[in-house]
Amino acid sequence: MGKYSQDAQQLLELVGGKENIAAVTHCITRMRFVLNDPSIADVKKIEAMKVVKGSFTQAGQFQVIIGNTVADFYNDFIAVSGIEGVSKDAAKSAAKKNQNPAQRAVAAIAEIFAPLIPAIIVGGLILGFRNCIDSLYLFENGTKTLCDLSQFWSGLDSFLWLIGEAVFHVGIPVGICWSVTRKMGTTQMLGIILGLTLVSSQLLNAYSMASTPASEIPFWDFGFFKVNMVGYQAQVIPAILAAFTLVYLEKFFKKITPQVVSMIIVPFCSLVLAVIIAHFVLGPIGWKIGSAISSVVYAGITGPVRVLFGAIFGFAYAPLVITGLHHMTNAVDLQLIADYQGTMLWPMIALSNIAQGSAVLGMIYLQKKDVDAQEVNVPACISCYLGVTEPAIFGVNLKHVFPFICGMIGSTCAAIVCTATGTTANAIGVGGIPGILSIQPQYMLTFAVSMVLAVVISFGLTVVVGKKKGLGKGTAQAEAEQITEAKAEENVPAAEECHSLKAVLDGEVIALKEVNDGVFSEGVMGDGLAIKPSNNTVYAPADGKITVVMEESKHACGLTLANGMELLIHVGIDTVDMNGDGFQYLIREGQQVKAGDPLIIFDRKKIEAAGHPDTTVFIITEEGNAKNIQIKTGMTAKAKETEVVAFD
């Protein structure tokens, strides 16, 4: 019987027994269950177990936090349950069964947009900058913009539109069609061509649709019926629907077409039919939905239930951006300005942008130690605060879902105050924080109050929910906690007493503060040093016992010396993402090693190709009985020979 057999049996019963488990696996610190019926699991009793540190549900998986001994616990659980474990990818696939259609749809959208994020971020920053120089009337008593005063800024504004138009007018529909075909494994070039047909210069630009009279809209005349020649610039849903139509048409024709003529029949039939369906059916339906929404907005914003309308609009505007139909609100804004010398709709749009940006700000706070995430978070937040929400919504908030909802709630609260006070804007165009400059002077204070609500509520909710979901720790910290919290239950066999630790690698020895990682460089896990390696083999710094290994990633190990000192050797930064590719263990858990024994072999070229530094961290996570510890850095070390740590 294993050490955790009784706890494993208890957990098995509390999750609903073997018959309620569709799949089970584990990661660094958690058991990951895919349950047939998640409601059966007794969460309170599970969290009351001594061996359990907490639980939560994410992406269809019920995750039980065990800690560093999760591998041993998992083995005992498999033994007592008689269930065969699966890989993490298999568990994720099975977990989709626990997601409702909306969750699966959002997940699919996130996957489609992932390759488009860099372009969306660039476009968002450019459009946000253009908003500042061509839409803010800051000069000559508020009558002129920077572009009005300077030919240079006017020329720059015009030039930057070349990129902005390419990203948002053309890039999004074309990119979506390409990404869908890529995701579904069909012909990507056909997807690109389909996308181009949605934004052709032959068509009426989608941005001009609201201001073009119906009689002036161009059309294709087929004799017995006509079809409007309307473009779908910046449109999301028509592009997604068209792309999936192309995918399934191509798969259908591949299935029924003889191989000898497949190269001709399949692309021709699938592309032509997809274009016809996109322009004859899917596009017009999208515009009908947009027109209906515009009518509701116009009636609601001026009626007796305006506060209720404000709440609904504040909550629904961000989802409207996903569809691309938010451009239809321009027609309502222009009509309100013409009839009432101002619009009460645009302030709510600006507040929604601010709320979504503040949700991203919450993610910046939660993921402050995650460098990769911040490369997306920070620019997305900036562009959102400048009025362009797509990078924030598609690049960050929809990816995690809960920030998107938190932003919607913050927007709702702000919109209620905004509509209750009748806050009105003189014009449209600046949709983020600078939007306060377009507000009529008598309403600037109420807009400022609404803006504070949008920021505080969206940011606060995102941080609270994110922490409950376990965010807030960087990858390195999670890994380090897994290793340093692990305690070997059995006694470490006696070894020759030592008073120094030798270098584990050849290379330059540097101080921890020079390591580009917040957890290690700040000494969160303990004092130590780092080595920029010139070889590819890690050696034992002293006699000891291997007490922690990471079987999947193989990029780190923990040793315990006879004096109780515990060491962490971590090869590279964020190399856990490589899933063991390029790493080879020469040791096993529980093995007694001598000073100079080889522990890990790693491939420096693979680490570099994966985009990670190969700087190896060497930390004393527990001092044991050692005293007067001295860390030696600022030198070139020779593995197994150079003394890097001395102690009594």
Helices (H), 225-345: 237-256, 262-277, 283-302, 306-323, 329-340
Residues facing 545 on adjacent strands: 560, 592
- Output the CA torsion sign for 137, 140, 146, 151: positive
Residues facing 32 on adjacent strands: 25, 63
Taking each helix axis from N to C terminus, what angle separates 188-198 and 262-277, rounded to the nearest 10 degrees? 30
| Tokens (6 digits) for 182 | 């890529």
* Amino acid at site 542: A
CA distances to 8, 16, 84, 182 from 13, rounded to whole Å, are 9, 5, 17, 43
Q: Which of 568, 544, 545 is nearest to 556 (CA)?
A: 568
Question: What is the C-alpha separation between 145 and 129, in angstroms, rounded?
Answer: 13
Which of the 8 DSSP states describes residue 174?
Answer: H
* Amino acid at site 47: E
Helix, strand or coil, per DSSP, at residue 569: strand
Question: What is the C-alpha separation between 26 and 125, in angstroms, rounded?
Answer: 40
3-state helix, strand, coil in the chain (%, to 5): 55, 15, 30
* Amino acid at site 396: V
**Cα atoms in the 13 Å half-sphere on the side-chain side of 359:** 31
Residue labelled with tokens 């190990």? 557
Contact yes or no for 563/605 (Cβ under 8 A): no
Strands 598-602 and 583-585, by their bridges, are: antiparallel
399 Cβ contact list (under 8 Å, min separation 6): 110, 114
| Tokens (6 digits) for 483 | 């290793």
Question: What is the C-alpha separation between 352 and 416, in angstroms, rounded?
Answer: 12
CA distances to 114, 322, 339, 355, 379 from 389, rounded to whole Å, are 16, 10, 28, 10, 11
Q: At CA 127, angle to CA 122 and CA 128, rounded to 5?
A: 100
Which of the 8 DSSP states describes residue 436?
Answer: G
Question: What is the C-alpha separation between 171 and 271, in angstroms, rounded?
Answer: 19
The catalytic site residues sit at 27
CA distances to 218, 286, 299, 337 from 292, rounded to whole Å, are 22, 10, 11, 20
Q: At CA 565, angle to CA 560 and CA 571, rounded to 5?
A: 60
